[in-house]
Amino acid sequence: MSFINIHDLPEQWDLIIIGGGITGAGVFREATRTGLRVLLLEGMDFAWGTSSRSSKLVHGGLRYLKEGKFMLTKTSVEEREYLLQEAPGLVELLGFLMPVYENQTPGKTALSAGLTIYDILALEKQHSFHDLQDFIMLLPHITEEGLTGGFQFFDAQVDDARLVLRLIDEACADGGTALNYTRVTAIRRDAHGRVIGVEARDTEMQASRTFASSAVINATGSWAEELHPSPNSGTHLRPLRGSHLVFPAWALPVAQAVCIIHPQDHRPVFIIPWEGAVLFGTTDIDHANDISQEPAITSDEVAYLMDCLQAFFPSLDISLDDCLAAFAGIRPVVSEGKLLPSEESREHIVWVDEGLITITGGKLTTFRRMAWDALRAAEPFLPSIRIPDHATPVFFTPHKLPGAAHTLSQHMWRRLCGRYGEKARGIVWSATPEDCSLIPGTHTLWAEIVHAAQNEHVRHLDDLLLRRVRIGLTTPGGGSTFIPRIQKLCEAALPWDTQRWHEEITRYCDIINRAYSLPSRKITFPEKKKRFSVESLQHAFRRLFRR
């Protein structure tokens, strides 16, 4: 997935996909498996939007049972099980604890019924109830007032951005082409209104091209109606914001994920160990701001989350001073505008208009089912294809993990293979022993940064630190203390001079302050210390002797 100049691409394609989030990446992967010539165009960076700002869960959606969405839950559980089998190290089983309190809604009986259905859908009993003393052993810091015990069940966890990137990478290996920072500015149609292609612009190089295709799939999420207004006047996209706080593991020590019911509105809120840190969220409110701007958590959302955290874990005395970061994503929900945000359906929808197929809504977990639905809708406008199914895994299966002869643990090899597939070996074998060590406080190797800079379409520093690796979320100050070493590691891979590095660091600091920090907190990045050189010493002596 190396950089491609927009001018070097052919004009004609079988299928053009607009949008490089999980939906577009899923369609891209499935389409390339059919042998189609496929071009994916993303206006920002891959996974820039919701697909890098989720709760990092591959889950059935227990709450959908309460709303009667049995088929959505069934499909999600099935997809979870397939992904656990096909992408170990990227999608991993995650234990959940759910405390039960007196007079809680939903109560023990309702939760037991829901979890039993969950198990039936998974074809395996995966939940159990623990009495008060046993549950406190599992979750020792939870408030005990009114606590009667709690449930343990299982779902799965993912690095959402790395899921998108692996799908795109393997689609490119199958012959597809993907460009980031390439915005589709118009859909081209013939005199009869049939789609004949798109107009696109590389926003970094300020270069424009026209690409031809009789089939275009619009997978732009919350932006979908900008290209294809809803054909139903009563149904439109409703952008809903979900925000999270990020804490260090020592501040919120949980061995498993925790699902608690917010006392204010009885919504489930999650505590999720992830990448050496802990995520806490999410909110679910209407996003009234400009969706072209990066969303950010608000003071009201911070207060909502902290009220819940302090109600259930008062003994930990957690404060905002402990918070590492915050982030917000926008869910593209198809709505008639009559329900509360948390009651809106997460099912996807497909619109077809003379070769323009729009797919939006949906869940990260069901990206493959969404891809199949989009390709079925596009079939009349495509060469003859056979749409893939579960008979062939969506990912290439990496060869057997290297043996213990290498210094990396089997766990780390599993993690790298999950995130990078067959490229995991190259990451390690081309790295120095020093770069095969972990970045302090994270689960990320220094060598991953070098690989991403060399091979993964990195065009800005935030691409690298917020999406290729996640240290911008999981370390203090967006990882600012690591930037000098990162600059040194990436000097050969990124063609940036000193001025460009200064601009990128300034840009990154601004992004962290606007979209990944608490509203009341601003960080400053330390200036890089100047190093003396022979030339600088000579210049200093000349100035001295001129005096």
pLDDT reported for residue 531: 45
**Are residues 281 and 270 in contact, defined by beta-carbon separation less than 8 angstroms?**
yes
Calculate what percentage of the chain has a pLDDT beyond 90.
80
More confident residue, 340 or 355: 355
Mean pLDDT along residues 505-519: 97
Residue 522's pLDDT band (cuts 50, 70, 90): confident
- Answer yes or no: is pLDDT of 63 > 60: yes
pLDDT digits (tens, 9 = 90+) for 239-251: 999 999 999 999 9
pLDDT digits (tens, 9 = 90+) for 75-110: 999 999 999 999 999 999 999 999 999 988 889 999
Exposure b/e, 363-394, CB count within 10 A at least 16 = b: bbbbbbbbbbbbbebbeebbeebebbeeeeeb
β-strand partners of 29: none
Query: pTM value?
Result: 0.94
Q: Which amino acid, 428?
A: V
Q: Which residue has the tokens 């000349």?
A: 542
pLDDT digits (tens, 9 = 90+) for 365-387: 999 999 999 999 999 999 999 99
pLDDT reported for residue 222: 94
> Domains plus CATH for the chain?
6-50+161-233+345-381 (3.50.50.60), 91-156+236-334 (3.30.9.10), 430-515 (no CATH)
For residue 192, give the DSSP letter.
T
Q: How far apart are CA 384 and CA 36, in angstroms?
A: 9
Q: Which amino acid, 104?
A: Q
- Answer yes or no: is pLDDT of 289 > 50: yes
pLDDT reported for residue 370: 97
Q: Is 268 helix (H, G, I), strand (E, B) or coil?
A: strand
Residue 337's pLDDT band (cuts 50, 70, 90): confident
Give the CA angle between residues 511, 512, 517 to the nearest 5°: 130
For residue 38, give the DSSP letter.
E
Ramachandran area for residue 130 (φ above 0: left; ψ -120 to 50: alpha; else beta) = beta
Please report which helix (H) or strand (E) contains residue 522, including its range. Answer: none
Calculate what percentage of the chain has a pLDDT beyond 70.
93
Mean pLDDT along residues 198-225: 97
pLDDT reported for residue 124: 84
Mean pLDDT along residues 10-15: 98
- Answer yes or no: is pLDDT of 165 > 50: yes
Would you state the torsion angle of the CA atoms of residues 203, 382, 385, 47, taken in this order, to the nearest 10 degrees?
20
pLDDT reported for residue 361: 93
Q: Which two tokens stand for residue 115?
A: 């979890």
At residue 190, φ and ψ (nearest 5 deg) are -85, -175
Q: Which of 114-123, 140-149, 209-218, 291-300 has the lowest mean pLDDT?
A: 114-123
Q: How far apart are CA 252 and CA 261, in angstroms?
A: 17
Q: How far apart are CA 60 and CA 79, in angstroms?
A: 8
- Answer yes or no: is pLDDT of 324 > 60: yes
pLDDT reported for residue 431: 92
**Are residues 243 and 250 in contact, defined by beta-carbon separation less than 8 angstroms?**
no
pLDDT reported for residue 58: 96
pLDDT reported for residue 526: 64
136, with CB counted inside 10 A (0-12, 13-18, 19+), is: middle
Q: Which residue has the tokens 């001025």?
A: 499
Q: Which two tokens stand for residue 305?
A: 């989350």
Cis peptide bond N-terminal to 314, omega within 30: no
**Are residues 118 and 77 in contact, defined by beta-carbon separation less than 8 angstroms?**
yes
pLDDT reported for residue 530: 44
Q: How far apart are CA 226 and CA 84, in angstroms?
A: 35
Mean pLDDT along residues 489-500: 95
Helix axes 160-173, 410-420, angle to 10 degrees: 60
